Amino acid sequence: MYSKKLKYLLAILLLVLTELLFVSQPNACAQSEQTETLPALKDGVAPQTHEALWAEFDPRAEPLEVEVLREWEEDGVVLRVVRFRIGVFKGAKAMLAAVYGFPKGGKMLPGLVQIHGGGQYADYSACLVNAKRGYTTVSIAWAGRISAPGYRVSPAEVKLFWDGKTDDPNYRITTDWGAVDGYHAPGRNAGNQFPSAKAAAWTLDDVESPRNSGWFLCTLAARRALTFLEQQPEVNADRLGVYGHSMGGKLTVAVAGADQRVKAAAPSCGGISDRYNDSAIFRATLGDDVSLNRITCPIIFLSPANDFHGRLGDLPSAVREIKSKDWRVTCAPHHNHQDTPPYEVATLLWFDQHLKGASAIPNTPKTSLMLRTDDGVPIFTVRPDRTTPPEEVRVFYTQNGVEMQPEDSENAKHRFWHHAVATQADDGVWTARLPLGATDKPLWVYANVVYSLDAPVSGAGYYYRTYTAETFNLSSVVTIATSADLRAAGVRAALQSSPTIESFERDWELEWFTYRPEEWPRATHKLNDQRWKAPQGARLSLKAQAAEPNKLVLRLDDFVTVQSLTGDDQWQTIVLKPSDFRGISGKPLADWTAVRRLTISSSERLHPGRGESGESRVFGGNWKGAPPRFRDLRWLPADDVADEKSKGSNDAEAGGRTAHGSGRY
């Protein structure tokens, strides 16, 4: 009798030890006896269409097997780090980690899937801020990275998880893709190219197939996140939305195009331009245009005008391709891959309208471009929706860097947008004249309509920084006129080169930009426009005034100069030559010819360039006292430099000062 009991106890102990061993290993989820989520290819032929790609996947079919890894409360919000099952691929179970948050005690609330971009994290900030506005949110860690109090998973912790280093104090359970690789930046497997459909050891199919792409795997995971939301007791499953930034923007479009449960979508900086892949099967199944063609839910595109990833020139095609008639766009001039509150807030307003029944966002402004005019200067008219009276209409146009192919991303990032003053007529139509500098380049033009909010709205931005907006910008779709259009209409080149780059008067800031409008530093791409190219041998001149002694930093692309301001009520004239600007290694700027971006600030951080070693460096420092004042940023032709020095001496006698290339570095 005792020997039988002993055998029974030993068997139980062995079973427990086996279970503990499997739980402790990240890839112990392998369960070859389970049914595969996706069927094997028929006759080795990969899906050739979007419909075929998704035909045999049911996002509700498999159990979720939810794990709660951490739970806490903050400001009346319940927050959890969770994992749930994505599916079974090549005999191994894949699990998706995420941060989930909801208002404590909430019921029948709208739910949001938030999708991070490349290099970003699933972040509790989005869940917290959204919950305070009455939403449930699941922020998915498709790349394994998580940012939450007491549960930080950086790339280092992701690698600990891959390696099964459970004894390391920094070890954290996170997303486990099992036998496939949906990770990014870095991928788990060396050589894994996220957009590729080619076969590899870690891919699902052994032939070129869209099911091999990380885009497909992460879209599938996001669809499972919709299932997770559906099953939460506080969620109204009929009111689900999805949004994401950059790579998350593309995934937002992919999910909205594949899943009818999405009732509203808000992609930012992505989802409109991935249509140039070298693989024909990728383009036919995972291209942005393929997904856009299947979107029927309301969608708003957050597309900064200089974004390298969701390129503005593709936006007109995107809004033509979607099946939904309910769409909007908001496009910040000069911005690349970032935005400020009046643009970021569009996401929240869109979800409020379509998931909570709040007041409708005004309709997209109607615009018209007239090329054939009496004086050869094009005219742009804007008719905004006046159901909500607009505060202002701003017109922006460019002939700078308007190419649309992927290899032109540098031009896109440094595109300069002229601001054209728009005047309002009694009938509510705003009109702006667009003097051009050339007729052999295309013209792009669009309008931003500024509306006031009834009350300030706070949210978590693209990179989870909390913001508060008091206004929001609604844009028209960019209108494009080719150089052939301009010449055929008799448009003339009316803008001449100008040595005066900036007067700092009137609405000058509309041709400069910042991602932190509460601070005074500003940048501009004016020097990338032909009108303000430097004359041969010119010097750069700026008048500045500071109330207290400070260091002023001027930056041209990746070259800086630090100038001392004395701190009194006198204007100082700064005159600079190219060699006064130095790179991180001390190398001087050779000349002005390739300069694209000018920044004026109190401090700048330079990073080593591609192929360079070393640490980043900060030039300048904290600003003391009131913001500086500026006048007369201009090019001084070589012949005028001596005159400016003489004038500086006269200014000094009158209380002014001139600094000639102090070149502090």
In the predicted structure, residue 22 carries a pLDDT above the cut 80: no
Confidence band for 19, pLDDT divided at 50, 70 and 90: very low
Domain ranges of the chain: 31-297, 366-495, 501-660
In the predicted structure, residue 645 carries a pLDDT above the cut 60: no
Assigned token pair, 477: 């779709």
> According to the model, what pLDDT value does residue 613 have?
80
Q: Higher confidence at residue 10 or residue 466? A: 466
| pLDDT, tens digit, 9 for 90 and up, residues 588-611 | 999 999 999 999 999 999 999 877
Fold of 31-297: Rossmann fold (3.40.50)
Pairing outcome for strands 146-147 and 92-103: unpaired
Query: Which CATH number does 366-495 carry?
Result: 2.60.40
Q: To the nearest whole percent, how much of the chain has pLDDT over 70?
A: 90
> According to the model, what pLDDT value does residue 657 have?
57
| pLDDT, tens digit, 9 for 90 and up, residues 384-432 | 998 999 999 999 999 987 766 666 777 889 999 999 999 999 999 999 9
Confidence band for 236, pLDDT divided at 50, 70 and 90: very high
What is the rounded average pLDDT of the residues 351-365?
A: 96
Pairing outcome for strands 327-330 and 299-302: parallel
Distances (CA, A) of 344 to 24, 245, 397, 408, 469: 41, 11, 22, 26, 8
The overall average pLDDT reported for the chain is 92
Question: Of how many residues is the chain composed?
Answer: 665
366-495 matches 31-297 in CATH topology: no
Estimate the crossing angle of helix 214-230 against helix 247-258, to 10 degrees.
60
Secondary element (H or E) of residue 573 = strand 572-576
| pLDDT, tens digit, 9 for 90 and up, residues 527-573 | 999 999 999 999 999 999 999 999 999 999 999 999 999 998 899 99
| pLDDT, tens digit, 9 for 90 and up, residues 291-333 | 999 999 999 999 999 999 999 999 999 999 999 999 999 999 9
Confidence band for 660, pLDDT divided at 50, 70 and 90: low
What is the rounded average pLDDT of the residues 139-157?
A: 98
Distances (CA, A) of 615 to 505, 562, 612, 664: 39, 19, 10, 20
Assigned token pair, 158: 């992701």
- Whole-angstrom Cα distance, residue 449 to residue 434? 18
Residue whose C-alpha is closest to residue 318's, from 282, 343, 293: 293
Confidence band for 13, pLDDT divided at 50, 70 and 90: very low
| Cis omega (within 30 of 0) for bond into 186 | yes
